[in-house]
Amino acid sequence: MISANAKTKMRNAVLWLDASAKYKWCYSKTTGKWFRWRLNFIHLTIPAQAGKSDKFVKKVLNRFFMYAYRKTGMRSYIWKAEPQERGEIHFHITSDCFIWKTTLQNIWNGCLRYYGLIGTHENPPSTKVHPTANIKLMTAYLVKYMTKNDNHRRIISGRLWGCSQNLSQAKNFHLTISEDELSPTYKELEKDSIRVDSYDWLTVFNLKDNYFERMEPCPVLSMYREKIRAIQQGYVADSNLFFNEEGKPMSFESAVKKGLPPAQQALFEEQLLISSQN
> Domain check: are 66 and 201 in the same one?
no
Whole-number pLDDT of residue 237:
47
Residue 67 belongs to domain with CATH number: 3.30.70.1910
Mean pLDDT of 71-86: 87
* Over residues 244-248, mean pLDDT: 89
Predicted local distance difference test score (pLDDT) of residue 273: 80
Q: Is residue 70 part of a domain?
A: yes
Residue 122: domain span:
4-168
Q: Encode pLDDT of 83-124 as tens digits.
A: 877 777 889 999 998 899 999 999 999 999 999 888 888 888
159 and 186 in a single domain? The answer is: no
Within this chain, do residues 149 and 209 fall inside the same structural domain, yes or no?
no
Residues 67 and 158 in one domain: yes
Residue 16 has pLDDT above 70, yes or no: yes
Give the model's pLDDT for residue 91.
Answer: 93
- In order of 7, 148, 155, 160, the CA distances from 151 in angstroms are 16, 10, 8, 13
Of the candidates 147, 168, 189, which is a domain's last residue? 168
User: If you average pLDDT over residues 263-272, what whole number do you get?
Assistant: 89
Of 39-48, 129-138, 194-203, where does mean pLDDT reach its minimum?
A: 129-138
Looking at the structure, do residues 65 and 97 belong to the same domain, yes or no?
A: yes
Instruction: Assign 261 a pLDDT band (cuts: 50, 70, 90).
Output: very high
More confident residue, 237 or 270: 270
Residue 235 CA to residue 20 CA, distance in Å, equals 11
Using CB atoms within 10 A of its CB, is residue 26 exposed (0-12), middle (13-18) or buried (19+)?
buried
The pLDDT of residue 214 is above 90: no
16 lies in the same domain as 154? yes
Q: How far is CA 236 from CA 17, 73, 232, 233, 241, in A?
A: 16, 11, 9, 9, 10
Q: Which residue has the higher pLDDT, 218 or 244?
A: 244
Based on the fold, state whether residues 47 and 131 are members of the same structural domain: yes
Higher pLDDT, 14 or 147: 14
* pTM for the full predicted model: 0.83
Does the residue 174 lie in any domain? no
Domain total for the chain?
2
**Bigger pLDDT: 178 vs 197:** 197
Domain boundary among 108, 138, 168: 168
Query: Degrees (nearest 5) of the Cα angle 140, 221, 223?
Result: 90
Please, which residues have CB within 8 angstroms of residue 271's CB and are 6 or more apart in sequence? 22, 23, 237
